[in-house]
Amino acid sequence: MNISGKTILVTGATGQLAGAVARGLAGDNEVIALARFSESGSRETLENAGVTCVYGDFVTRDFDEAPERVDYVFHAAANTKPKTIEEGMRDNAEGTAFLMHRYHDAKGFLHVSATGCYAPHPDPQHVFTEDEPLGGSTWFAPMYGVSKTATEGVVRSLCQIYDLPTVIGRMNVAYGGPYFDGGLPGRQLDALLADQPIRLQRGMRWYQAPIHEDDITSHALILLERATVPATIINWGGDEGVEVEEWVRYLGKLVGKEPRFEYDDRPRAASWIGDNSRREALGCFCKVGWREGMKRMIRARHPEVRLREDV
């Protein structure tokens, strides 16, 4: 890739997904994490990995410590559980607009959206293309999918208004490393090891296409370099659709724990398996299959656990 010696601003770096990207890209480029660093130790952890940390809040337009200009922006920060539509619009849609305005002269802008923007499909193994109906189906947080869909509209518009090359990546289930909660599989792994139940929706087969953070990091520079006007929209998930209960059982075999499932009627999320043709056409290929990825996650999050390598 040609991106080297550049300045890359990352939002959401105190979380699992963007934190992995920030750490992974630090070295060949100057990576700047813009955040409030409200969690104890979050700033120090990033700085120890070679990431420059600056306090800021794009939602309130607090850019006092942020650089005036950067070469690229990786925008993953979001309010994933807004209590109201007003809160979701403010934090996700308006905040993203303020960030794009601040860095409208960047060479590339990568907005991490969500597969939760898609309207649900009755077939849990349906494979979504990027052109399918939107509507938001994040039942665990009803205002999240709606506000992320609105945010995509903001990003698409400002991309053309500012002539700012942009990619919108609809992220599936990201997971992998030792930091934060490890994504959905990480939380389930921690529950397994603590002998806590895995809660799923009764009568629902739930499929996702998990993508390991190593693949996400390897894709990031490619996507920033190949950003376009109008914005390119891609599904950003792994190559395989997997039933969530299947990967939980696999985690259990790896760590020697029998999962204890509890089923209830509380809605959580729809099934999302993405067609990855457009991602692959840009040169973004996944190298970490979900089984290998789960093993990597266990080693990273719980090195003290004896892992069954023969599973």
8: which strand partners?
31, 72
User: pLDDT tens, 146-204?
Assistant: 999 999 999 999 999 999 999 999 999 999 999 888 999 999 999 999 999 999 999 99
pLDDT level of residue 235 (50, 70, 90 thresholds)? very high
Residue 309's pLDDT band, with cuts at 50, 70 and 90, is confident
Task: Say if strands 273-274 and 261-264 run parallel, antiparallel, or are unpaired.
Answer: unpaired
Average pLDDT over residues 291-305: 97
Q: What's the pLDDT score for residue 137?
A: 83
Domain ranges of the chain: 7-176+210-240+273-287, 183-206+242-270+291-301
Tens of pLDDT, residues 8-55: 999 999 999 999 999 999 988 999 999 999 888 999 999 999 999 999
> pLDDT band for position 101 (50/70/90)?
very high
Which of these, 86, 291, 298, lies nearest to 192 by C-alpha position? 298
pLDDT of residue 2: 72
CB 219 within 8 A of CB 27: no
Q: What is the mean pLDDT of residues 77-90?
A: 96
Q: In whole angstroms, what is the distance from residue 302 CA to residue 165 CA?
A: 40
Q: Which pLDDT value is given to residue 142?
A: 92
Average pLDDT of the residues in 91-107: 98
Distance spanning both ends of the chain, measured CA to CA: 36
Q: For residue 67, is the peptide bond before it cis, meaning its omega torsion is within 30 degrees of 0?
A: no
pLDDT greater than 70 at residue 1: no
pLDDT over 90, % of the chain:
92
With b for 16 or more beta-carbon neighbours within 10 A and e for fewer, the 195-212 pattern comes to eeebebbeeeebbbbbbb
- Distant-in-sequence, close-in-space partners of 285: CB < 8 Å, separation ≥ 6: none
Mean pLDDT within 66-84: 97
The pLDDT > 70 percentage for the chain reads 100
Closest CA to 151 of 127, 175, 134: 134
C-alpha closest to that of 184 among 280, 268, 309, 69: 268
Beta strands in the chain (DSSP E): 7-11, 30-35, 52-55, 72-75, 108-114, 127-128, 166-171, 174-175, 198-201, 207-208, 211-212, 232-236, 242-243, 261-264, 273-274
Centre a 10 Å sphere on the Cβ of residue 10 and count the other Cβ atoms it contains.
Answer: 29
Spatial contact of 92 and 112, defined as CB atoms under 8 Å apart: no
CATH of domain 7-176+210-240+273-287: 3.40.50.720
* pTM assigned to the model: 0.97
- State both tokens at 124: 């849990």
> How confident is the model over 65-80, as a mean pLDDT?
97
